Structure 1
Amino acid sequence: MKKILILSTALCGMAYAANAEVVVLSWGGSYGGAQTEAHLKPFTAKTGIPTTMTDSDNPATPIKAQVEAGNVTVDVASVEYADAIRLCDEGLLEPIDINSLPAGADGTPAAEDFLAGAVTDCGVSTDIWANIFAYDSTKFSGDAAPKTVADFFDLEKFPGKRGLKKGAKAVLEFALLGDGVPASEVYATLSTPEGVDRAFAKLDTIKKDVVWWEAGAQPPQLLADGEVAMTTAYNGRIFNAVITEGKPFSIIWDGQIYENEMYVIPKGAPHMEDALEFVKYATSTEGLRAQAQYISYGPARKSALKDELLFNDGKTVMGPHLPTAPENMTNALESNFEFWVDKDAELNERFNAWLASN
């Protein structure tokens, strides 16, 4: 009887583990909402595995802390590309075999279906997103509206406060682009002490007029509240504010900085098998197309790009709103993950010291 009871208890435990809640850590706002609608809800409906979404201003930070403390409460996290590489190199993420991922809807093997670089040793791309800048079209319009990244730094011609993300990444590159450095030369320039000095000198020209933001939901709110005349932002956040809330915002694609966003599984995730099943579903052709119908970030699979994508309003064609649209790539910069894996700590230390100085 005792053995039967122990076996029964063990089986119940296994059943519970198989159906325990998968916790997904993401960025909140319209992005987290898109993942909830496109990934979490349909995954649960299809598999019966419960899922829940939780938010962070930067999911890489709590993931690192949890794994190092041996107290992991998250099963899947959405992190920037450089963070996926760095955390993997530090042994803080579970490896993901590309051959374990589902083939495309057209039967193309995952290794051939994903865009170049979209799958790493420990991460799978959920989308291609961009840092852009946007302005309030009630303040600037027609020929008097900004058109280039250089205009962001022109306080005389385009007066008003500026919103910038509080951190070195994408801000230093943006400053060099605004100072006339061609996209093809940005990282070579930023790899030199003189290039770093040049970036900070450009930021000096607007420093007194900057409102710093940290969470992706803040830039649209800063524009809506009139606290800034223009701001850098994640393109999908501005798109959603325009399409779903009717905000009078315009995106400038000149000088956009784009990269892959990645789903990763923290080392020691409590529901490892279910977490991997979630990643497989979310990054399938079906999952990637679904997300692109809720926010204007480009799918990272070729099979997800074969047919026209519509926003979930059923009428807005998403193609022109994606970072990867040809017309949006004229002066685009791909974020260099290798650069930021190597330089993140050093340049953020310099950035924080600069921020604290007069």
Structure 2
Amino acid sequence: MKLKTMVLASTALAMAAGTAFAQDMTIVSWGGAYSASQNNAYHKPYMEKNPGINIINDESSAEAVAKLRAMNEAGNITWDLVDVVASDAIRLCDEGLALEIDHDKALAAAPDGTPASEDFGDLIVSGCFIPQIVYSTTFGYRTDVDEWGGKTPDDICDVFDLETFPGKRSLEKRPINNMEWALLCDGVAKADVYDVLETEEGQAQAFAKLDSIKDSVVWWSAGAETPQLLADKEVVIGSTYNGRLFALIEEQKQPVAMLWDAQVFDLDGWIVPAGLSEERQQRVMDYLNFATDTQRLADQAKYISYGPARQSSAPLVGKHAELGIDMAPHMPTDPANAKNTFLYNYEWWADYRDDLDAKFQAWLAQ
């Protein structure tokens, strides 16, 4: 903590003296293969273009809402830009902890002149949210499990079938997605999931279904955990972000395959914390204009299998930068992978997240 204070103090002195010392910009994201893709597509090119800027990577996005609330309370915003899922962006915007953005003024138009707001379209789910990627949370499974007798899971409900597919599972240590999958596999129609989940009875139904596999679950908090658990044979099937599984399967060549059934589509993007100085805000907006243009979003898809949020970026998605394989078939939006998808309800979770988080943690402790 002392070292961080010293660094911040020296940076402030350098800026005040007008010297040529690098100016730090702290960008918060999720770590692992995802942060690496951002570093390659955005951070490095931006720092090459702006040698006076030094980007510091922070991997605290999973705690973004709580930490920004605490920073705001303390009147000390140490982050410059934060990568969050869409529902968290809505919450932060509603609470006044994120800046409202004029997307057409702040962001670059598409190469053909289409305004940013039209290029991103419906993916702008909040006035504070700058979309970046479409991703999915889905399952990977080991392909060498002797106890499965040559069978492979092809249905989301196979996750709950301990008899046919015995072994440890990994699930995220939060209610999102787990509650939806539980209801789907307990007979609730896809269109009715959120209506049912609004009720006490529906929540109890979801927890009861999760109870059926609870003793066989390893709970994860960081997206990198399931790939490691699968690689180490600690679990036989587990949920995580599709880009993490892509890295495990295609880059690390592990005996793992994708279960795309009922993958949950979600959005990820940027918010600018409220309360930045004018100078920091201008620096961040300059970075955002660069990092969210058509080419840069397409460039990220060279490193990870997430679909770019701009319509104009999609035709520019080509081959993996190192593997040389065509990336389109590895995207969650590819027709072969998207036969049965579940669309995450951002607004619903923005309203119910705090309450269900508390209930989920209480259930875990039972």
Residue of structure 1 equivalent to 2:219 = 212
Mapped to 1, the partners of 2:231 and 2:82 lie a distance apart of: 30
Mapped to 1, the partners of 2:95 and 2:254 lie a distance apart of: 42
Structure 2, gaps ≥5 residues long: 1-11
Paired residue type of 2:176? K
- 1:147-172 CA-to-partner distances (Å, cap 9, x unmatched) read 01010100000000110000111111
Mapped to 1, the partners of 2:157 and 2:13 lie a distance apart of: 64
| Pair 1:301 & 2:317 matched | no
Residue of structure 2 equivalent to 1:25 = 28
Q: Give the Å deviation of 1:328.
A: 2.0
Is the Cα–Cα contact under 8 Å of residues 298 and 316 in structure 2 kept in the other structure?
no
Pair 23,347 (structure 1): closer, same or farther in 2 beyond 3 Å: same
Deviates more, 1:232-241 or 1:265-274: 265-274
In structure 2, which of residues 104, 118, 130 is the aligned counterpart of residue 112 of structure 1?
118
| Pair 1:64 & 2:69 matched | yes
- 1:10-64 CA-to-partner distances (Å, cap 9, x unmatched) read 9963856996221101111111111111111111112333222111261413223
Pair 308,86 (structure 1): closer, same or farther in 2 beyond 3 Å: closer
Residue of structure 1 equivalent to 2:41 = 38
What TM-score, normalized to structure 2? 0.90
Structure 1, gaps ≥5 residues long: 1-8
| Pair 1:131 & 2:137 matched | yes
| Residue aligned with 1:201, SS | helix
Mapped to 2, the partners of 1:185 and 1:319 lie a distance apart of: 31
Q: Equivalences for 1:138-177 in 2 at 5 Å?
A: 138-139=144-145, 144-177=151-184
| Pair 1:313 & 2:322 matched | yes
Is the Cα–Cα contact under 8 Å of residues 266 and 343 in structure 2 kept in the other structure?
yes
| Residue aligned with 1:257, SS | strand
| Residue aligned with 1:34, SS | helix
Mapped to 2, the partners of 1:203 and 1:148 lie a distance apart of: 16
What TM-score, normalized to structure 1? 0.92
Q: What is the Cα-based RMSD across aligned positions, in Å?
A: 2.2
| Pair 1:278 & 2:281 matched | no
| Residue aligned with 2:122, SS | coil
Q: Equivalences for 1:206-285 in 2 at 5 Å?
A: 206-270=213-277, 271-285=280-294
Paired residue type of 1:291? Q
Mapped to 2, the partners of 1:38 and 1:147 lie a distance apart of: 34
Is the Cα–Cα contact under 8 Å of residues 258 and 333 in structure 1 kept in the other structure?
yes
Mapped to 2, the partners of 1:242 and 1:192 lie a distance apart of: 39
Deviates more, 1:333-342 or 1:132-141: 132-141
Pair 115,17 (structure 1): closer, same or farther in 2 beyond 3 Å: farther
Mapped to 1, the partners of 2:118 and 2:149 lie a distance apart of: 44
| Residue aligned with 2:263, SS | strand
Mapped to 1, the partners of 2:159 and 2:20 lie a distance apart of: 52
Mapped to 2, the partners of 1:19 and 1:97 lie a distance apart of: 29
Mapped to 1, the partners of 2:296 and 2:72 lie a distance apart of: 27
Residue of structure 2 equivalent to 1:6 = none
| Residue aligned with 2:336, SS | helix
Q: Give the Å deviation of 1:108.
A: 1.5
- 1:82-139 CA-to-partner distances (Å, cap 9, x unmatched) read 1101011101112211112100123211111114133621110110111101101111
Mapped to 2, the partners of 1:245 and 1:97 lie a distance apart of: 41
Q: Give the Å deviation of 1:210.
A: 0.5
- 1:197-225 CA-to-partner distances (Å, cap 9, x unmatched) read 22111101101111000011100011111
In structure 1, which of residues 85, 89, 97 is the aligned counterpart of residue 94 of structure 2?
89
Is the Cα–Cα contact under 8 Å of residues 169 and 235 in structure 2 kept in the other structure?
yes
Mapped to 2, the partners of 1:119 and 1:17 lie a distance apart of: 39
Residue of structure 2 equivalent to 1:5 = none
Paired residue type of 1:303? S
Is the Cα–Cα contact under 8 Å of residues 98 and 119 in structure 1 kept in the other structure?
no
Pair 79,10 (structure 1): closer, same or farther in 2 beyond 3 Å: closer
Pair 303,18 (structure 1): closer, same or farther in 2 beyond 3 Å: farther
| Residue aligned with 1:53, SS | strand
Mapped to 1, the partners of 2:247 and 2:70 lie a distance apart of: 32
| Residue aligned with 2:308, SS | coil
Residue of structure 2 equivalent to 1:102 = 108
| Pair 1:74 & 2:79 matched | yes
Mapped to 2, the partners of 1:211 and 1:12 lie a distance apart of: 47
Mapped to 2, the partners of 1:166 and 1:244 lie a distance apart of: 26
| Residue aligned with 2:76, SS | coil
In structure 2, which of residues 313, 338, 360 is the aligned counterpart of residue 329 of structure 1?
338
Residue of structure 2 equivalent to 1:121 = 127
